[in-house]
């Protein structure tokens, strides 16, 4: 045991002192697995084997091999540059996206303004077309009214000519047709009078309806007025129908009473009851 310990001490004394640099104080240098590092380590081993140090000379110095930690520390500025470039790239992309967004928004606003202008233009065109159609319809109605009046005048003129011809023929046939002509004239006058009365009543009841230049509120008031008028006419019609039904019932009751009295009257003969002979 003593000999082995002595040998160990002698071996330790024979070993030359290792020169440590600042970067070797942090631990052993890891051996990378790349081919470049392998060749470097081989060359260093060959140098160690070729050099035979003498005990009097200074120990040989190994070539400086940088550890990955030193390389990482030395590469910090390069990492900062990469980070700065990446930040600049991201900022540029963000600025590009912002510009694209604002351009798209500006384009959408322009499209919206163009759409509003197109809607207003279509609205004005539609109003102009509606006004043109209203004028055309008014002209058409006026033409129809004129045509109707012209036809009525022609018919009246033709009827007057026919009557004049008939009068002339009858006057030529003899004087005993004078009474007949007078009666026919009276009947015709009565018919015309009844027709004129009917037209007058219809013209009084018929209300003019001019809604071309009315607004929304005026149209609502006009619709309410027409609704009230229709309701009033319906109520009057219902009252008249009820009155007519009551009158028919009373007439039937009176007919029944008269017929019943006729049966029990003494010496009853044929007589006219209710417009009929019994």
- Contact status, residue 277 vs residue 271, Cβ threshold 8 Å: yes
Query: Structural domain boundaries of the chain?
Result: 2-74, 99-176
**71-108: per-residue pLDDT in tens?**
444 444 567 788 888 888 889 999 999 999 999 999 99
**174-210: per-residue pLDDT in tens?**
545 455 555 666 665 555 566 777 777 777 777 667 7
Estimate to the nearest angstrom the gap between the alpha carbon of 120 and the chain centroid: 16
Rounded to the nearest 5 percent, the helix, strand and coil shares of the chain are: 80, 0, 20
Contacts of residue 167, defined as CB under 8 A and 6 or more positions apart, other chains included, come to 181
Average model confidence (pLDDT) across the chain? 73
What is the distance between the alpha carbons of residues 60 and 80, in angstroms, rounded to a whole number? 38
Please spell the DSSP secondary structure of 18-45, one letter per residue: PP--SGGGGSPPP---SHHHHHHHHHHH
């Amino acid at each position: 045991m003593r000999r082995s310990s002595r040998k160990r001490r002698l071996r330790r004394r024979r070993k030359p002192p290792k020169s440590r640099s600042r970067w070797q104080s942090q631990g052993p240098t890891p051996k990378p697995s790349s081919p470049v590092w392998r060749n470097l380590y081989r060359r260093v081993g060959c140098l160690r084997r070729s050099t035979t140090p003498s005990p009097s000379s200074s120990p040989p110095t190994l070539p400086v091999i940088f550890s990955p930690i030193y390389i990482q520390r030395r590469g910090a500025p390069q990492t900062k540059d990469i980070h700065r470039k990446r930040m600049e790239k991201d900022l540029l992309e963000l600025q590009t996206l912002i510009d694209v967004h604002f351009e798209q928004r500006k384009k959408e606003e322009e499209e919206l303004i163009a759409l509003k202008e197109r809607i207003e233009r279509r609205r004005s065109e539609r109003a102009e077309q509606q006004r043109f159609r209203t004028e055309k319809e008014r002209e058409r109605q006026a033409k129809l009214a004129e045509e109707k009046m012209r036809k009525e005048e022609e018919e009246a003129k033709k009827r007057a000519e026919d009557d004049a011809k008939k009068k002339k023929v009858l006057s030529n046939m003899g004087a005993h047709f004078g009474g007949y002509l007078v009666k026919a004239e009276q009947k015709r006058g009565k018919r015309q009078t009844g027709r004129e009365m009917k037209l007058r009543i219809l013209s009084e009841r018929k209300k003019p309806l001019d809604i071309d230049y009315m607004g929304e509120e005026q149209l609502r008031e006009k619709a309410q007025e027409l609704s009230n008028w229709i309701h009033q006419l319906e109520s009057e019609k219902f009252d008249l129908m009820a009155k007519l039904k009551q009158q028919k019932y009373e007439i039937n009751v009176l007919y029944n009473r008269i017929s019943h009295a006729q049966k029990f009257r003494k010496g009853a003969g044929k007589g006219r009851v209710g417009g009929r002979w019994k």
